[in-house]
């Protein structure tokens, strides 16, 4: 991997961490523990659409670990990893079909992220956490639309520039 890509990936992690912190400052109470807007997922969408699955996974995973240690705890890391694996896997499959745009991919990714977290919570606590699922589907779709819109706009505007700049050297 060339130096430019390494630096950009590090920058993507840093921007994701910053968005994680900004998200902590936004008082959102949806009646569901842990429900968030998902601002850091804007970077995951950008990485997925510009660089592919592996860079999207690695930068999101690093961001999850770092933000867990900086702003959360071990459980937030475990829950976020469960959400990442299910959501990124689903988003990748949807993207590969070519039938879904960024908005659809991101919306389903938001729902799958919540489902992954619920599955982990059920394994660690009890099955009754699934009573939150209907509300989390709604929250996941709304968050996915917001992050998908932002991620799609950013990706559309800078993807050609990034590919060209990062491949030159």
What is the average pLDDT value for the chain, to the nearest integer? Answer: 89
For 52: left if phi > 0, alpha if psi spans -120 to 50, otherwise beta; the answer is: left
Residue with the two structure tokens 């992050």: 147
9 has a pLDDT exceeding 50: yes
Is residue 32 within 8 A of residue 136, CB to CB? The reply is yes
pTM (global) more than 0.85:
yes
Is residue 111 within 8 A of residue 134, CB to CB? The reply is no
- The residue with greater pLDDT, 15 or 31, is 15
Q: Which CATH number fits domain 3-167: 3.30.70.60, 1.10.1760.20, 3.30.1780.10, 1.25.40.10?
A: 1.10.1760.20
Query: Stretch 117-130: mean pLDDT, rounded?
Result: 91
Q: What pLDDT does 1 receive?
A: 60
Q: Determine phi and psi for 108, rounding to 5 degrees.
A: -65, -35
State how far the alpha carbon of 65 is from the alpha carbons of 14, 20, 70, 108, 135, in Å. Answer: 12, 12, 9, 23, 27
Rg (CA), the chain: 16
Residue with the two structure tokens 């968050």: 143
Quick one: tokens of 91?
């988003």
Q: Domain extents for the chain?
A: 3-167
- pLDDT band at residue 37 under the 50/70/90 scheme: confident
Tens-digit pLDDT profile for residues 53-80: 999 999 999 999 999 999 889 999 999 9
């Amino acid at each position: 991997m060339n130096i430019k890509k390494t630096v950009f990936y590090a920058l993507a992690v840093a921007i994701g961490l910053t968005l994680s912190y900004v998200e902590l400052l936004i008082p959102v109470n949806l009646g569901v523990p842990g429900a968030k807007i998902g601002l850091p997922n804007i970077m995951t969408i950008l990485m997925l659409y510009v660089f592919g699955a592996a860079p999207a996974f690695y930068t999101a995973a690093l961001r999850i670990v770092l933000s867990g240690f900086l702003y959360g705890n071990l459980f937030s890391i475990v829950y976020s990893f469960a959400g990442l694996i299910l959501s990124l896997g689903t988003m990748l499959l949807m993207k590969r079909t070519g039938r879904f745009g960024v908005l659809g991919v991101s919306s389903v990714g938001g729902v799958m992220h919540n489902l992954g977290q619920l599955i982990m919570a059920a394994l660690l606590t009890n099955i009754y956490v699934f009573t939150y699922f209907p509300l989390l589907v709604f929250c996941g779709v709304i968050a996915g639309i917001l992050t998908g819109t932002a991620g799609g706009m950013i990706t559309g505007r800078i993807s050609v520039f990034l590919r060209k700049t990062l491949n030159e050297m």
